[in-house]
Structure 1
């Protein structure tokens, strides 16, 4: 009879003991979780405020006849658009420092911020190919790196590579042809006058993306806190 009582008592009290330890362990993990998250949120907030205080560049309009592509700040596509006779011209750009990996030894000097890669796409209605120029743009000069023909579907994004033969190395082309190609894009307003606008535009885009990143990451961490508190 006594044995039955002991067994019964063990059966009554043992299940009550486990949840207590579980609660203690859970409380310890939760405390650590909230501490880490609060540190992340505090750091994100500080950096967000610092970035928000950065002085934006003066508002610059693109040189005529180019206009800004609607929604360009929120996409990775063309920035500027123009027409020349029966041609449609679009321009995309990115900084050299955003292309060369840090520590590669190929750049990352202060002057690299004044070097832009510009992708110029010239298309004509009814033609399946477009003429694509990859150029280096500086405050006082513009140089052509390559010229190729691409399918129009390939020219929508400036990082796409042509699938077919892309032509000879530009520096190996006859000098007269190179000069003619420079005159060709110059006639369409593609020159160093684009630099001030594209430099300022890329700054605004980077600043906007950084602000969005801090805000999005902070929202995610905060929602993780709220979800954990309901467990």
Structure 2
């Protein structure tokens, strides 16, 4: 390859890198200047944020109830909701574990937190499990029926059971907002890392 061709190739690569840099900087500016999540954030209530690393997608929250129960919640963003209204673009997957003092068994609820539009965020139980021990997770052990097959009155009472332990509307509002902001911050951080790699030395 001639020296001229080599210089032209290098020049083209520099121009492509500058174009990429321009687009990255535009996207970063857009993300930092627009806050799509201006809704009221709700409240953690008595829960404490136990884990919220900027490098992971999930969060863990804990609470000790006056009754002696310990409630632990893990959550992360799930599938897109494709809402036509101005709502959160993704639902949250929430796992709630409740343990009574002195017992090794736990109740585990797999839930989805969904923006239902018109400023209403709610959660729906997908599964309810009784686990004899958190260390005994053999898939062949019967953990409970398919939740949607339960009597609707029992489904509603199990939901009320969780609400009475602080997992109500204010909490789910906080959780889904926090997870979306967390993801947005991670996206901006990723863009900035790309920008640092592309900036000419």
User: Which ranges in structure 1 are unaligned for 5 or more consecutive residues?
Assistant: 1-20, 101-106, 156-161, 227-231
More helix by share: 1
Which residue of 2 is the match for residue 212 of structure 1?
189
**Worse-matched range after superposition: 145-154 or 211-220:** 145-154
Matched, 1:196 2:173: yes
**Larger fraction in strand:** 2
Q: Tell me, yes or no, if structure 1 residue 29 matches structure 2 residue 6.
A: no
Give the superposition deviation at 1:207. 1.9
| Cα 1:221/1:180, change in 2 over 3 Å | same
For 2:104 and 2:122, the matched residues in 1 are separated by: 31
- d(CA) in 1 for partners of 2:47 and 2:185? 23
3-state SS in 2 of match to 1:163: coil
> Is 2:135 the partner of 1:135?
no
Counterpart pick for 1:62 among 17, 27, 43: 43
Are 1:87 and 2:61 matched, yes or no? Answer: no
Runs of 4+ in 1 over 4 A off after TM superposition: 124-129
Q: Do structure 1's residue 121 and structure 2's residue 97 form an aligned pair? A: yes
Q: RMSD of aligned C-alpha atoms? A: 3.3
TM-score, normalised to structure 2's length? 0.74
Paired positions, count: 190
CA contact (8 A) 2:110 2:128 kept: yes
Counterpart Cα distance in 2 of 1:132 and 1:53: 40
- Report the Cα offset of residue 33 of structure 1: 1.3
Unaligned segments of structure 2, at least 5 residues:
115-119
Q: What residue number does 1:45 align with?
A: 25
Q: What secondary structure does 1:62 align onto?
A: coil
What is the distance in 2 between the residues matched to 1:117 and 1:199? 9
Larger radius of gyration: 1
Instruction: Provide TM-score, normalisation by structure 1.
Output: 0.66
